Amino acid sequence: MDLVLNVADRYFFTPYVYPSSWPEGRPLRQIISLLAVTNLGIVVLYLCLGWLSYQFIFDRNLMKHPLFLKNQVWREIKLSMTSLPIISIPTVAIFFLEVRGYSQLYDNIEESLTGWSFMLFSMISFVLFTDADLCYAPFPQHFHKLHHVFKIPTPFASHAFHPLDGFMSSLPYHIYPFLFPLDKVLYLALYIFVNIWTLSIHDGNYCVPGPLQAVVNGAAHHTDHHLFFTVNYGQYFTLWDRISGSYRTPSVLEGKERNLKDRVRCLLKWH
């Protein structure tokens, strides 16, 4: 996060906001700046990507489902915009530790263990580590029920969590760079990827290529998670659900053949 903070300091905070008596390395200034940057960044990501997904990917026919709530989109946005500022407080505390140099994030590829091959390993291990969601597993599920009010979610439900639930579900992403070396640019890219993926599993687009349907935890799998609550907890893959016995073949894919229009949508999404 210090990469983003450095850019914000150079082009905005230093010349226009803070007095010269507040140097860039001052802890209080860094905390205030991180709060501003984090809240602005996540809101822009959520609203912009959510709107694009809602406009161009989300299947509006799902809004005719009897479990789709009245004013649901507005309720999803309202809950998200209420929770995100609260979630940002402990998140910024972790970002602050990163900025102060307590994590294993590094600046250049030359600092990695084996160069580009380690970068590839980092991407794979980050996805597998966060997919396991070891920090969230023991967390009380009654907090998560607020997210499950939306049985037929839209992309705007992607960040509609109870604040404690939202922070705990994101904690593995923040813990990883304290346990394992990770390039700073790659970490930022993975952080954005996680938010995009979270939107994608709420977008109502059930198009996953046939051979990957049993492996990738897509929107079809996650919709069943919203409907039945105790199945398909996975973030990216079905591995941990299969191991724990919580895997369920998505209802929308079970024994149903897609029509030509659905096949075209699949091709557009995956190619």
Domain end call among 142, 171, 200: 200
Q: Do 149 and 115 share a structural domain?
A: yes
Supply the pLDDT for residue 266. 45
Q: Do 15 and 47 share a structural domain?
A: yes
Q: Do 218 and 127 share a structural domain?
A: no
Four-residue CA torsion sign, 260, 262, 268, 271: negative
Q: Do 190 and 140 share a structural domain?
A: yes
Q: pTM, whole model, 2 decimals? A: 0.85
Q: Do 158 and 87 share a structural domain?
A: yes
Supply the pLDDT for residue 257. 40
Q: Do 125 and 242 share a structural domain?
A: no
pLDDT (tens digit, 0 to 9) for every residue of the chain, 271 residues total? 888 999 999 999 999 999 988 999 899 999 999 999 999 999 999 999 999 999 998 988 889 888 999 999 999 999 999 999 999 999 999 999 999 999 999 887 776 666 778 888 999 999 989 887 644 454 556 778 888 899 889 999 999 999 998 898 889 899 999 999 999 999 999 989 999 999 999 988 777 767 777 888 888 888 888 888 788 888 899 888 888 888 888 877 655 444 434 444 444 444 4
Supply the pLDDT for residue 31. 96
Q: Do 147 and 63 share a structural domain?
A: yes
Domain end call among 172, 200, 228: 200
Q: Do 193 and 94 share a structural domain?
A: yes
Q: Do 209 and 196 share a structural domain?
A: no
Q: Do 242 and 195 share a structural domain?
A: no
271: domain range? 205-271
Supply the pLDDT for residue 212. 79
Q: Do 35 and 71 share a structural domain?
A: yes
Domain count, the chain: 2
Domain end call among 200, 219, 250: 200
Q: Do 209 and 150 share a structural domain?
A: no
Q: Are 235 and 197 in contact (CB under 8 A)?
A: yes
